[in-house]
Structure 1
Amino acid sequence: MSELLPRTLTWPEVDPLRNLFELDEDAAKELARLVAPLLPSPEAIEELWWRSLDPVTEFLVARFGRWACGWNWSVGEGDSDGGVVDVWCCARHSVSTADVTAPLAVAALLEWRDWIEDLAERFSALAPPLQSVASSSSVDPWHWERACTRLVTVVADRTRAESGWYTHCKQVLGWFIAYNGIDEERAREIVERAIGGRFGSWIAPDAAAVDIVSSRFAQTVDGN
């Protein structure tokens, strides 16, 4: 069910400007009340742990949009490898009683949303002068290189470079390119050529590796 996998999310699906969201304290409590009956029992987790939270995810996606499927994309080896959410670990370790777990799920959703909004702010700050990039040859490659360096660094930090972290790193770089008007297929090609297997699980990239990737990223975008 790819629609429930956060690693398949595109920038239009997460862009805060296209996917408005607001949850005050009262609304968060009401959301937790609605989530509570959808939570799995310990028995269900043991039987089919990787699918046990699907009802929660389906509900959040139906209510808020597909961006919400990242609510439990936790750091390290959680329900899905390589995310940024800290307050949620995984079904096996985060699910307890409904009155405790439901607010935790809502807090995880808010943490994921905060990350998306943080990225949007970073994208705005890092965007080349010509934000709608009809021809990247008109953009100084330094802008692309600087953006890649900063985005790789922040993703490595937020994911703590744990299991599968590079998947989200590639996704974020693709989102940034899409933010700047380059189509999704071309964005994936640019990112794959730039990273080329240089990042791995449980290994934070050193400055030399980041410099190489950022330079290749800039060169590849410049050849768009």
Structure 2
Amino acid sequence: MSELWARTLTWAEVDPSRHPFELDEDAAKTLAGLVAPLLPGPEAIEELWWRSMDPVTELLVNRYGRWACGWNWSAGEGDIDGGVVDVWCCARDSVTTPDATAPLAVAALLEWRDWIEDLAERFSVLTPPSYSAGSLSAVDPWHWERACTRLVTVVADRTRAESGWYGHCEQVLRWFLAYNGIDEERGREIVENAVGGLFGSWIAPDVVLIDKASSRFARTMDGNR
């Protein structure tokens, strides 16, 4: 079910300016109460643990929007490979009793939302000054290099460069381009040409590799390969 798959999220679907969200203490308790009955029981088939969280994800997506499907995108080999959420590990390890697990799921949603909002702030800072969509070639390539360097670095840090981390890294770079008005197809092409195949699971990129990716990212912004 692609609508529950965080790896396919676009910036339009997660952009905090388009999807306002606020969860106070009372609302968090209410949400935890809604989550609790949807949690799997101990009889759940072990190999289907990750799918057993679909009812929780569906509730959150229906209530807040598709951005919420990343609530359990934990770092490493969790329910979904290569995310940034630390509060939630995986269904097999994080699900205990309903009373204990439901607030944990809510905390994981808040952590995921904080990450999206943090990225939006970073995108704002990293956007080249006086940039407007369609003026890619007029931008000093240094700005694009700096953006790529900082975004790759922060994603590698948040994911701890564990299993599948590079997938979200590429996604964040695409989100940055979409934030700057570059259409999804062009953004995917730019990111693939810049960093496709450069990074691997369980390997934190060193300075040389990040510099290589950032240089390629800047060159592709104006169509040079």
TM-score bucket of the superposed structures, by smaller chain: over 0.9
TM-score (norm 2): 0.97
Q: Return the letter of the residue paired with 2:22.
A: E
Q: 1:36 to 1:182 in 2, by over 3 A?
A: same
- Contact kept? 1:45, 1:92, Cα under 8 Å: no
- Give distance in 1, aligned partners of 2:11 and 2:57: 19
Task: Kindly report the root-mean-square deviation, in angstroms, between the aligned alpha carbons of the 2 structures.
Answer: 1.0
Q: How does 1:199-210 map to 2 (within 5 A)?
A: 199-210=199-210
**Cα deviation, residue 47, structure 1:** 5.4
- Mapped pair 1:56 → 2:56: yes
Partner of 2:12: 12
Query: What is the alpha-carbon distance in structure 2 between the residues aligned to residue 16 and residue 166 of structure 1?
Result: 23
1:134-178, Cα deviation, whole Å (9 max, x unpaired): 120111111100000000000000000000000000000000000
Structure 1 residue identity aligned to 2:21: F
2:75 and 2:84 in contact (8 A); partners too: yes
Deviations 1:179-210 (A, max 9, x none): 00000011011001001201000000000000
Map 1:1-224 onto structure 2 (within 5 A): 1-46=1-46, 48-223=48-223
The percentage of counterpart residues that share the same residue type is 81
Q: Cα deviations across residues 21-58 of structure 1 (Å, max 9, x unaligned)?
A: 00011111111001100111122252521210000000
Relative to structure 1, the CA distance from residue 137 to residue 47 in structure 2 (aligned partners, 3 Å threshold; closer, same or farther) is closer
Matched residues in 1 for 2:47 and 2:177: separation?
Answer: 40
TM-score by length of 1: 0.98
**Length, aligned pairs only:** 224
Separation (CA, whole Å) in 2 of partners of 1:131 and 1:121: 16
**Structure 2 regions of 5+ residues with no counterpart?**
none
Measure, in 1, the Cα distance between the counterparts of 2:219 and 2:45. Answer: 46
8 Å CA contact 1:136, 1:223 repeated in 2: no
Which whole-Å CA distance do the structure 2 matches of 1:202 and 1:53 have between them? 26
For the residue of structure 2 that corresponds to 1:143, the secondary structure is: helix
Cα distance in 2 for partners of 1:132, 1:85 equals: 33
Q: What amino acid is aligned across from residue 129 of structure 2 in structure 1?
A: P
